[in-house]
Amino acid sequence: MNLTDIKNRFGVIGTAPALDRAIDTAWRVASTDLTVLITGESGTGKEVFSKLIHSFSSRKHGSFIAVNCGAIPEGTIDSELFGHEKGSFTGANEARKGYFEVANGGTIFLDEVAELPLQTQVRLLRVLESGEFIKVGASKVIKTDVRIVAATNVNIPDAIAKGKFREDLYYRLNTVPIVIPPLRERGGDVALLFRKFASDFAEKYRMPAIRLDELATQQLINYRWPGNVRQLKNVTEQISIIENDRMIGAETLMRYLPGQPGSNLPLVSRQDPTAEFSEREILYKVLFDMKRDMVEMKKILADIIQGKPVRPISTDDASVFHTDVPATAPVIAGYNLPSVYSQPSGFSAPVQHAPITHHEVVVEERLSLEDQERDLIIKALEKHRGRRKNASIELGISERTLYRKIKEYGINL
């Protein structure tokens, strides 16, 4: 079977050499039982490659189970993967088979494998080495014959260096590596995918397909596409529904691309795509930085009012107080203050200040990100009477992440 036939079968569109190499590797390794680790940014289509491997393997008539490791709470992931016995933990009212037992003779796709807790990584390593596992709350060893295809958008060597992923497990999973290129490195594939999605949405919504003019096409190709194919599909659908004109120009297209001039969509900027901060945490950090700056300002103004010497601007201060002020603004102890703080005409400040009998208390607000996060978690749990699932939805995080944070902060409700 050639590459074109494989692409047509699995709906893969593109001619980029790196993409063709990834497909060819997946097809060649499919007939073996080797463990495969698929790496690539979010939205590049890693699950498609796992299905390709399963479909061309000798296990194609067996089960194929896709597991999103990052979506399962830490407290239940061992039970999900390996099963449990009745009464092994609170709520275990009956015995349950795990995915490794159900998929015996088939394939398990472990997406976001780098999100697995270290304890679960040890269990997974044993399955890879001996094909054996033990259910939660049991003592009997169970054998399974399962092929594992794993995927991640995390730089695992970095996770190993930080102690978040086992090095021995990495080498077991990475028997055959497959790297899926990001959309921005696939050149003209972007325009091909856009036309395919535009045609699909035209059929779905019973309307003429949108098209791009020459400048818009170049804009499409030059954009970085941080969300890759998934983002391109979403943008194509938005334009197909919202725009009346079926010929899309560069100016119209830019309104749908985050970070572009004229864009009306939000942008979260990350210098490091593997950074461990969620978008919510980044927002918290920005807000807390602003609070810190305001507290610093309050202290400075309090010192000025009380006649205390004000420390000169340091390099760090300069990064905070960067607002341009008029050249005529007064200078007080090394600080350029806007003219709004100028003394009224006829006012003469004494050189020596009389003792101040009252004090302005500047209260230092709690600026710790951990403290703020802990308070939010406690409030959410109290609001939902300890129901972690409802609290995690309220906080906008996964239940597994909430469970980990509760343990980390020692929250007892």
| 204 shares a domain with 158 | no
Beta-carbon contacts of residue 161 (< 8 Å; ≥ 6 apart): none
| 110 shares a domain with 75 | yes
| 211 shares a domain with 223 | yes
Go through 191-229 and write b for each residue having 16 or more CB atoms within 10 A of its CB, e for each that does not: eebbbbbbeebeeeeeeeebebeeebbebbbebebbbbb
- Classify residue 350: in a domain, yes or no: no
Report the chain's C-alpha Rg in angstroms. 29
| 108 shares a domain with 66 | yes
CB-CB contact of 183 with 229 (8 Å): yes
CA distance readout (Å), 212 to 111, 198, 244? 35, 10, 13
CATH number at residue 380: 1.10.10
Q: For residue 90, what pLDDT is reported?
A: 82
What's this model's pTM, rounded to 2 decimal places? 0.62
- Classify residue 358: in a domain, yes or no: no
Q: Single out the residue in 154, 181, 208 at which a domain terminates.
A: 181
CA angle 10, 156, 70 (to 5 degrees): 65
- Classify residue 50: in a domain, yes or no: yes
| 160 shares a domain with 11 | yes
| 188 shares a domain with 165 | no
| 209 shares a domain with 163 | no
- Classify residue 269: in a domain, yes or no: no
- Classify residue 14: in a domain, yes or no: yes
- Classify residue 330: in a domain, yes or no: yes
Residuewise pLDDT in 10s, the chain (413 residues): 789 999 999 999 999 999 999 999 999 999 999 999 999 999 999 999 999 999 999 999 999 999 999 999 988 999 999 999 988 888 888 999 999 999 999 999 999 999 999 999 999 999 999 999 999 999 899 999 999 999 999 999 999 999 999 999 999 999 999 999 999 999 999 999 999 999 999 999 999 999 999 999 999 999 999 999 999 999 999 999 999 999 999 999 999 998 765 444 444 444 444 444 455 556 656 666 676 677 777 777 777 777 766 555 444 444 444 444 344 444 444 444 444 344 444 444 444 444 444 444 444 444 456 777 888 888 888 888 888 888 888 787 888 888 888 888 888 76
Q: What is the pLDDT of residues 185-210, one digit of tens each?
A: 999 999 999 999 999 999 999 999 99
- Classify residue 393: in a domain, yes or no: yes
What's the CA dihedral at 134, 137, 139, 143 to 10 degrees?
-20
Go through 247-270 and write b for each residue having 16 or more CB atoms within 10 A of its CB, e for each that does not: ebebebbbbbbbeeeeeeeeeeee
Q: Within its chain, how far is the Cα of 284 from the centroid? A: 15
| 174 shares a domain with 189 | no
Q: Which residue has the tokens 């906008």?
A: 396
Q: For residue 264, what pLDDT is reported?
A: 41
CA angle 173, 175, 178 (to 5 degrees): 90
Strand partners, 141: 134
Q: For residue 148, what pLDDT is reported?
A: 97
Pairing between strand 141-143 and 132-134? Answer: antiparallel
Q: For residue 369, what pLDDT is reported?
A: 65
Beta-carbon contacts of residue 289 (< 8 Å; ≥ 6 apart): none
| 121 shares a domain with 62 | yes
- Per the structure, the complete domain to which residue 376 belongs is given by 369-409
CATH number at residue 54: 3.40.50.300
| 144 shares a domain with 67 | yes
Q: For residue 286, what pLDDT is reported?
A: 66
Q: Please give the tally of structural domains in the chain.
A: 4
Go through 302-337 and write b for each residue having 16 or more CB atoms within 10 A of its CB, e for each that does not: ebbeeeeebeeeeeebeeeeeeebeeebeeeeebeb
Instruction: Kindly state the tokens that stand for 350.
Output: 């004494």
- Classify residue 143: in a domain, yes or no: yes
| 138 shares a domain with 8 | yes
Q: What is the pLDDT of residues 287-331, one digit of tens each?
A: 666 766 777 777 777 777 777 665 554 444 444 444 443 444 444
| 149 shares a domain with 104 | yes
Instruction: Kindly state the tokens that stand for 131.
Output: 């094909």
Q: For residue 163, what pLDDT is reported?
A: 95
CATH number at residue 238: 1.10.8.60
